[in-house]
Structure 1
């Protein structure tokens, strides 16, 4: 199944689509710091790990961008440090790097200037953060004081909201929430103060992406983008515009069927209708595949969530599996969300006969991967629903055994499975 049809969609363009991005040094931390001092620049260090998904997002979608490279190569010496290899563990410990990615800006004397933890939502956010480090952007709190005193210039408010996210990201987690609520209120006011056609620029698109990037079909600003796609495409890079359109339309489908609303069929039809040109313009996007996959997801979801019809849900998922098999994409993962979602949503009303039907699918999935822990866990849940507690406990213990040597997940699975076992005793 192509990633383009998922709700949580990753950017789909290769690095070749971008011009020169950040030029990273290849030496040691000490060498990079010495070079920064010699050139009177700050040192930017990206602490990452090879298994970190958000780290890969930054390396694939943010660091290679032309505007990022232009600013960083002028103002910083940049270095990537694998926190688990070479000098990485020692330096990470010294600077208390605890999450990934952690991006730290160092002064030439080696003291920390600012840090950013986690992947940024977009390139604009990352660039704004860097500009606040160098002083090219006014510190957020100074601008916020002007806002409190009554400054409602639209460009000023927009800039305040965009830079506010950068400021909040530097605060302890418990202090971030109240600020994000303030930003949401500012954005709501901003959207009332402007008309959709007045938002046709890159900065306003960033606001739209930040605050309307969800199940917002029908929102006038989202509708304006859908209905004027070709005009927007002249202003916004394809990788940003198309992903926003795909995500919002897909998420609107999901919200619709979960609420028992058949409007998902309207949003689905848009894939071959008013959004067809977006798919045509976007590399690796497949409108036909998106339509078929989302049709199975939506129709089955409508049965499960809207109609509480477990058999209808299973019938649609059988069609989905047949489609995946035809395309050579059927594997154990094809069964995981299918059965797991059903068990979670229907456990209060599912019949024994339907539980046994789900167990048949689990057996099919386990033939493809006998050690698929999610499927074994679900098999235990099915036995528990049937009152066969000993068999359920056996499945849960199997999960613990299979994951005991996994440093990243062993503790989670042991606790989760133990809780299920204790609940049956």
Structure 2
């Protein structure tokens, strides 16, 4: 009996050891940055550093979903000394962040053993992107610049596709003229690529992702978008809803630009909603008994009235009919958007009665619980602006303070600070207006 118990204990210990060693992911070194460089030098490795902050949402995402990956961990642990640096922790960690000009979180940097930067990635990355960047840092894969040169010279579609897939993260880490130079190069390469590739082989997830990143969003009758429209059923069958959503965004941008410019041509693209783009718009839930065409017709006809005809009374009347038709299916964004359009497109130059109507729509929007945080802050801030225009200064101050308090719910400290800066300026302007 005793021997059987001992054997069971041994088996449990082995099992626990096996489980703890399985899917370990990246093992981060516990020493300082200089100690990591020394260790890497002794072991013939490079150093990988994750610059993060405890409040950073994308940093937490990488810690939970990317760094624990078994394949990634195996490669990184064999080839690098991996280190995490909290950019806000006083001492060597904050000093390292300042020395290497870390302004975006997370920032992922590969170093030589002398502290020289090999390459860096600004912002969170998927496992595949991080693994590729690590292999490039070690010279096992072509760098972005070399891959671009090869793609440009050989016109190889696979190389061109790889360049376009990697371009956002590479160009995103550049600044000033260097960034602008690469934007021009990538735009040219994209145009060459889609022109050569458009055909049956173009209908795939990778190329759709490239189109969504690089294709101009407001060019009428664009060749790529018309190709997707012509082959929409095949796209939807192979790739799901994503191609349809892309087309809706594209067509809505065209309609909006034309309506704002006062061109009746917007109605031609509005009609596409019930025509060749119907399958795309059918994906989008209207949340009402209205068809997508009927709902967007209210929206863009109203935009035309405001932006071109400057006819606020007709807009209010049209939106009243829209609200009546929607009934209890009106939501926070429905009220918020019609209010935001009226305020922004008239630049707040409204009569007191019109401001009162605007206030009513905003109050109704804010009665809903399921508002996205940024939308809620926008609506509350706009309510403050409306109160200010009506010379209801105490109510305006209350609304601005509420928006300030709501901004504290952002996970991103940077986003919170940017919003609070805007609200503080509005509060200062309010004091002067009094």
So what's the TM-score if we normalise by structure 1? 0.66
Alignment match, 1:132: 136
State the SS of the aligned residue for 2:49: strand
Q: Within the alignment, does 1:191 sit opposite 2:194 as a pair? A: yes
CA shift at 1:343, angstroms? 0.6
| CA–CA separation in structure 2 for the residues paired with 1:172 and 1:257 | 31
Residue 100 of structure 1 aligns with which residue? 105
Distance in 1, matches of 2:70 and 2:275, equals 36
Question: 1-side partners of 2:142 and 2:378: how far apart?
Answer: 49
| Distance in structure 2 (CA, Å) of the matches to 1:294 and 1:84 | 48
Distance 1:212 1:22 in 2: 40
- Structure-1 separation of matches of 2:139 and 2:208: 25
| 1:155 corresponds to | 158
The change in CA–CA distance for 1:321 and 1:107 in structure 2 (over 3 A counts) is: farther
Does 1 or 2 have the higher relative contact order (CA < 8 Å, sep 6+)? 1
State the aligned residue count. Answer: 377
Structure 2 unaligned spans of 5+: 1-21, 260-265, 307-314, 370-375, 409-415
User: What CA distance in whole angstroms lies between the structure 2 residues aligned with 1:356 and 1:195?
Assistant: 52
Match of 2:234 in 1: 228
- Give the CA deviation at 1:291: 9.5
Contact 2:383 2:399 in 1 (8 A): no
Deviations 1:160-213, CA, capped at 9 Å, x for gaps: 444454543332244312320221112112222223213245654443332238
Range with greater deviation from structure 2 (177-186 or 214-223)? 214-223
1:25 is paired with a residue whose SS is: coil
Question: Relative to structure 1, is the Cα distance of residues 206 and 397 closer, same or farther in structure 2, using a 3 angstrom cutoff?
Answer: closer
Give the Cα separation in 2 of the matches to 1:71 and 1:103. 16
Matched, 1:316 2:322: yes
Structure 1 residue 102 displacement after superposition = 1.2
Say if 1:75 and 1:166 are closer, same or farther in 2 by CA, change over 3 A: farther
Q: How does 1:13-412 map to 2 (within 5 A)?
A: 23-25=25-27, 28=30, 30=32, 33=36, 40-49=44-53, 51-52=55-56, 54-55=58-59, 72=76, 75-76=79-80, 78=82, 81-84=85-88, 89=94, 91-93=96-98, 95-108=100-113, 111-119=116-124, 128-144=132-148, 150-200=153-203, 203-212=206-215, 214=217, 219-223=225-229, 226-229=232-235, 232-233=238-239, 242-243=241-242, 245-257=244-256, 259-260=258-259, 261-262=266-267, 263-264=269-270, 266-267=272-273, 273=279, 298-308=296-306, 309-316=315-322, 322-323=328-329, 336-347=336-347, 350-365=350-365, 374-383=378-387, 385=389, 388-389=390-391, 391=392, 393-398=393-398, 401=401, 403=404, 408=417, 409-412=419-422
The Cα RMSD (Å) is: 4.8
What is the CA-CA distance between 1:373 and the residue it aligns to?
5.6
The separation in 1 between residues aligned to 2:217 and 2:159, in whole angstroms, is: 25
Structure of larger gyration radius: 2
Residues 380 and 318 of structure 1, relative CA distance in 2, 3 Å threshold: farther
Is the contact between residue 225 and residue 232 of structure 1 (CA under 8 Å) also seen in structure 2? no
Name whichever of 334-343 and 131-140 sits farther off: 334-343
Unaligned runs of 5+ in 1: 1-19, 234-240, 280-285
